[in-house]
Structure 1
Amino acid sequence: MFAEHVRDFAATAVIFGFFASSWFGWAQEAPPGRWRGLLAAGSVTGLLTAIAGALLTWRLWHNDTAFDEATSRAFGVVVAIEFGAATLGAVLLALRGRRDLISMWVAFVVGVHLFPVATLIGYPMIHLVAALITVVSVAAIPVARARELSVSAVVGAPTGLVLLTAALFSVVSAAILGF
């Protein structure tokens, strides 16, 4: 479950904390009223975790990282494919009048793209994050229909929770192992 390089824990906390906050925010598009406070708390916690991760990344900058020239290039390709697929799918869904499904599509793309990212940086916990987000995205539509909820709430809240949990794990790991 652990990354080889402690600096990569800290950087993962930054990225996952930020995106956890974003997913909790997306879930606030049309959630049940009782979810609003929890979603807001998740967003704030995600941002605070990202800030803690950023401070640790700065503190640990001299440490080794999985990112060398080849890894950085491959990572850039994976992220470019992710952004391209997410954008293309979102545009096609919007053109078909299915904006309500964009959050599900983006979560699916995010989940799938995390599998090669986990391998590239050698952080096995990210495989679990990838699997959970992918499952959430696939289950979102039937769950939303069955419970009469918005797809964005059904996909955003658990995706935010998965990312926040991984960010917290990463920031705590960086803090413990980095000192």
Structure 2
Amino acid sequence: MAAMQTGPESRRDGGITALVEGFFAASWFGWGQADPPAWLPPWLTVGSIAALLVAAVGAVVGFTSPASTAAINSRAAGRRYGTIVGIEFTLAGLGAVLLGMLGLPAYIPVWICAVVGVHFLPLTAVLRDRNLIALGVLLTATAVAALITGLTTAVAPSAVTGVGAGLFLSVFGAVALVRALRQPRPRPQPA
């Protein structure tokens, strides 16, 4: 078994991590636009643009690196990844439906952020990236902060999750991208 890395193991993994985390960071910044304080929208827009840049560069780095170097390069790893993400989507969807039925749609982003945060913990072993532990803890803490803020102030929970999840995913995506860019480019193998 490969030793657990403190970051993505290959250029491919780092690039794909930056792509995924950057894309979802932009999505969270967008969700934060649902009902933000008046001063926040320009900052959410800047965050979205920066996150999309991380995603775009990550896509180039990831998809121009050999797929054979990826953490999910076996059927078993792909199956574990699919199971974890499938459970994540199922729980997120069921919770969102339940909150909607209970007349609490403002707390849907809190639930989704918590589920996303928790799903990073089992993904740590599959993707061989210890940074996902910290990211998972930070996203879960963001969900808790959004819940408390939503219950005790007039600030919408979506504004808190939008800023927190967007920022943390952007930063971790950018770190993965920098690590990927520091990896040597694989040399083509002779035919």
1:39 is matched with 44
Q: Which whole-Å CA distance do the structure 2 matches of 1:71 and 1:108 have between them?
A: 24
Match of 1:161 among 161, 167, 170: 167
Q: Which whole-Å CA distance do the structure 2 matches of 1:166 and 1:138 have between them?
A: 20
Instruction: List runs of 5+ in structure 2 lacking aligned partners.
Output: 1-5, 186-191
Alpha-carbon distance, 1:60 to partner: 1.0
Is 1:21 equivalent to 2:26 in the alignment?
yes
1:5-16 equivalent positions in 2, closer than 5 A:
5-16=10-21
After superposition, what is the alpha-carbon deviation per residue over 1:12-59, rounded to whole angstroms, capped at 9, x for unaligned? 000000000000000010111111111001111111111100000122
Match of 1:65 among 70, 78, 86: 70
Is 1:89 equivalent to 2:114 in the alignment?
no
SS at structure 2 position matched to 1:42: helix
Counterpart contact for 2:32–2:44, Cα < 8 Å: yes
Instruction: List runs of 5+ in structure 1 lacking aligned partners.
Output: none
Q: TM-score, normalised by structure 1?
A: 0.96
- Give the counterpart letter for 1:155 in structure 2: T
Q: Which runs of 4+ in 1 moved over 3 A?
A: 144-147
Q: How many residues align?
A: 179
Q: Which whole-Å CA distance do the structure 2 matches of 1:150 and 1:143 have between them?
A: 8
Match of 2:35 among 30, 53, 56: 30
Structure of larger gyration radius: 2
Q: TM-score, normalised by structure 2?
A: 0.90
Larger proportion of helix: 1
Counterpart contact for 1:108–1:134, Cα < 8 Å: yes
After superposition, the Cα gap between the structure-2 partners of 1:136 and 1:62, relative to the gap in structure 1 and judged at 3 Å, is closer
2:147 is matched with 141
